[in-house]
Structures are given as C-alpha cells and as structure tokens.
Amino acid sequence: MNIATRQTFFRFYAIFFILITPFIVIYSLGYNFDWQNQTLSKNLFLKIQTLPRGADVEIQNAKKYTTPTEIRLSTDSPKKISISKDGYLDENFTVWSDLDKNTNTYLDKIILLPTNASSIQEFASSVDFLTFLPESRALFYSDNNVFMHSYSTNSVSAPISVTTDLNPEDITNEDKWVFEGQDFFWNEDKKFALYKDSVSLRWNLEDLSNTILGIDDIARVSNNTFLALDQDNNLYTYRPQDERVSFLDSGFLGIYANHQSESVWLAKEDNIIRLNKNRVNYDNILDSDENFIYSTTGGLVGEDSTFEVADIYRGVVVRLGSSLYFLEDTEPNISNLLTNEAVDFTTSNNTVFWMHQEGYVQMYNFEFDVQKNLANFDGVSDKARLYYSGDLGRLVVYDQNVNTIWVNPANKSDNIKEHSKNTWLSNPQCQKFTEGKNQVCFEGGSIVKYQNSARF
C-alpha cells in the first residue's frame, strides 16, 4: 500500500471517528437520538432481578427478556412491565419518569409467589380448624375439646389441651390476636385471653370482658402482672391466675405493650405516655422519672379503644381507633395526624403503611419524606390486617383473601407508577404473617405452606 492510499484511509477513519464520537458519547450517557425530530430523548434504565431466576419479562406485551436483566426504555410514555414464570403468580408494574434526565429504576429481588402448596400436616376429618395465633401456633376443635398445636414450616407438634367454656364458633381466624409474652395471647376483637396457668401449667381460654373488671384491653408488664383497662376507662393491675385486682387511675383511652422495646404505652386525655415496664411505679402510674410523655395538641381522636404504638424512624406511630399519628422524639409536644380513617397499619424501619377505610393502601417514608398511594382494594372489611414481610419484600393484606403489593420502602425513586398487586390466595384461613419466604394456611384438612425455596 503506497503512501497516498494510506493517507486516504487515515483521513477516512479520522473523519468517521470525529462524526461517530458524539453519538457514542450520547449513547453512553444514556440518551437516544431521534432522527425524525432531530432531538435527544432521555432513557429510563430498568434493572429486574427475580427469585427464582429465568422469569420472562415483557414490555408493553411485546419485547421479551429473561431475568436477571437490564433494560433501556424510552420515557415518551409509561411502560407496562409483565413478569411471568410457570408455577408462580405474574407480576405487573408500570414505570415511567417525567424528569428531564436519565434515571434508574430497580425491580430487584422480586420474590415470586408460588401457586402450589405442600402439606406440613394432615388432620382427621373430625378435626375443625379454629384460628392461627402468633408465635406459630393454632387452635383446633374436636370431640368437644379445644386444643393447640405449635408448628413450623416442616412439622407440627403434639396437641395441647385447652380448658374453655367458650363456644368454638366464636373463635375465628378473622380476629386479631396479640402475643403478650410468657404464654399469654390476647384477642383484641373479642377480649379473649389464652394463657398458661403458672401453677397448674394448664392452658385456659377465657372471655375477660365477662370477668369482674369487664376488661376491654390488657398489657403484660411482668411475668404474672398485667395492666388492664375496663369498659369505663379505669386502669388496674390484674393477675389472671387469681383475678387479683388493684385500681390505679381513671380516664385512659388505651394501653399497649411493646415487648421489643420493653415499653408500655398509655393514652390519657391529650397525652401518650411511655413507661419502662421494668420500672413501673404502681403507687402512682404517672409519677416516675422513667416516663416519657408526648403531648398531642388538639387532643386524641378515637371512637373505640383500639390502641397500638410502633417504634419508627425518629419517633413512634400511634393508632387510636381509626386515627393514626406520628409523634417525633425531638418534638414530643407536636403530633402529626397521618389519617383519621385507618383500618389497620404496620411499619417497616422508616416507613409506615396503612389501609384506608375506602380500600386504598398508602405508605409514608419518614426518612425521604415521601408519601405514595400503593394500590386499591375493593370490598375489604374492617377486619383487614397489614403485615410487611421483609423476606418477601411485600406488603401483605389479609382479609378474605391474601393480597400482596410488591414495594421496596428503601427505594426513593418515584418511577414505579403502579406497583404489582396480587391476590395470592383466596383463603381466609391463613396465618396473618409470613414465616421467612413461606405463607402457612389451613386448607383441605391440612396445614400447608406456600414456599419459595429458591436462592439468589
């Protein structure tokens, strides 16, 4: 090749490089060039990861990918993302960015929901299921006797007899049971107590609303002692074993025990009071240096005695009746009303989720100061219960069905316009929490599990 030819090739490649370099730079920065309109268009980078891997991904019911995958999408319009795999429920999202820049969206660690169950334990046809309890226990009825089983995702223990005068038909899985620690379970809806007597070591199931106090709410403060609230808002100490009662004070709207933080919470007039349950002064329940008082300006709104408290980022979330408040540790004299129409709520780290009386689910992230409407449910009852499963990465809504919403509270991006919502199971007889990546239910005469056993 002579010099002239080499110079021609050099000039050609130099000119080609000069022309193509801007387009390479533009593409590497995440932009597309619209030749028709002679404009640059921004992109949305979508990363999708599922468990198990190998799920099919469709964009607008057309182009297919396989997980795990990274996809570059134009942002000219919202895009529907469909994820499917045999043996699991489909997941459907809508993503879009209206920002004038390239953005990233992560649909990562999507734990797919299995559609087939495996049996843990089959029961005789003469055995009737009553309800699941916290701490992986369940009540059954057979031959005029109530009995309890402990269970795991692999086995079921031998039955334990439960002494009760209650009608088994009044014990249903739709009620909300709370574990008060030390072999004591409390039915918030019907005021039933299931506990193990420390002397006889027998399990008893009683209606505490029919006791001498007419108990309306209860919270354990020690092995044998409880705070009890009667139907007239009077507060007592109470020992179920011998029904020993001691009056403390009056005018209380609710009590609640948080066993993780060793705290007991009281609602009284305009105040939310936090007690260290290991240092409660029973001579004067409100007079202690250990108490921490939140003053809720404007008073508390609550048409019933439902009272719950959950620790969260920088403070606590308080439910009284259908009203939901955020009380900040640094400003205990200021209360922030989140909603006064909550059916139920739950928290996860720095996020609170709640079900509105009209059926839509909302979340608020206190760290990012972001509020979202996640999904709408038609026909939910006032018995609907929320639970955020970190193992499944989903908010679970328990009612007559087991519904789920895939949501990552730590994701600050607002690009997910529609979160994937599923009716996982059409079965009201499921535990109202998950065991790892398992959902346990009673169906077809057996305790079964819906399990995603795959690993990333």
What would the pLDDT profile of 21-70 be if each residue is shown by its tens digit? Answer: 554 544 555 555 454 555 556 778 899 999 999 999 999 988 789 999 99
Buried b / exposed e along 95-122 (16+ C-beta atoms within 10 A): bbbeeeebbebbbeebbbbbeebeebbe
Please give the average per-residue pLDDT across 279-305, as a whole number.
60
HEC-encoded secondary structure of 267-287: EECCEEEEEECCCCCCCCCCC
- DSSP designation for 156: B
Considering the four listed CATH numbers 1.10.15, 2.60.40, 1.10.10, 3.30.70, the one that applies to the domain covering 3-111 is 2.60.40
- DSSP designation for 432: S
47 contacts 105 by C-beta, under 8 angstroms: yes
Residue 364 pairs in a beta bridge with 352, 371
Tell which wins on pLDDT, 180 or 12. 180
Q: How far apart are CA 184 and CA 178, in angstroms?
A: 9
For strand 203-207 and strand 160-164, is the pairing parallel, antiparallel, or unpaired? parallel
16's CB contacts (< 8 A; 6+ apart) are none
pLDDT surpasses 80 at 452: yes
pLDDT at 137: 97
pLDDT at 226: 86
273 contacts 266 by C-beta, under 8 angstroms: yes
Q: How confident is the model at residue 13 (pLDDT cuts 50, 70, 90)?
A: low
Q: How far apart are CA 293 and CA 274, in angstroms?
A: 6
Query: pLDDT tens-digit profile of 164-202?
Result: 999 999 999 999 999 988 889 999 889 999 999 878 899
Give the DSSP H/E element, type plus range, for residue 22: helix 3-28
pLDDT at 35: 47
Q: How far apart are CA 352 and CA 367, in angstroms?
A: 11
Q: How confident is the model at residue 307 (pLDDT cuts 50, 70, 90)?
A: confident
Residue 64 pairs in a beta bridge with 58
Closest CA to 177 of 165, 164, 188, 191: 188
Query: pLDDT tens-digit profile of 216-256?
Result: 888 888 777 888 898 888 988 887 777 778 888 888 888 88
Buried b / exposed e along 303-332 (16+ C-beta atoms within 10 A): eebbbbbbebbebbbbbbbbbbbbbbeeeb
Q: Is the pTM of this model over 0.75?
A: yes
Closest CA to 208 of 245, 155, 254: 245
pLDDT surpasses 90 at 390: yes
Query: pLDDT tens-digit profile of 278-287?
Result: 776 666 666 6
Please give the average per-residue pLDDT across 121-129, as a whole number.
96
343 contacts 360 by C-beta, under 8 angstroms: no
pLDDT at 254: 87
HEC-encoded secondary structure of 195-216: EECCCCCCEEEEEHHHCCCCEE
pLDDT at 231: 85
pLDDT surpasses 70 at 79: yes
Q: In the predicted model, what is the mean pLDDT of the chain?
A: 85
255's CB contacts (< 8 A; 6+ apart) are 217, 218, 219, 227, 228, 229, 235, 264, 265, 266, 267, 307
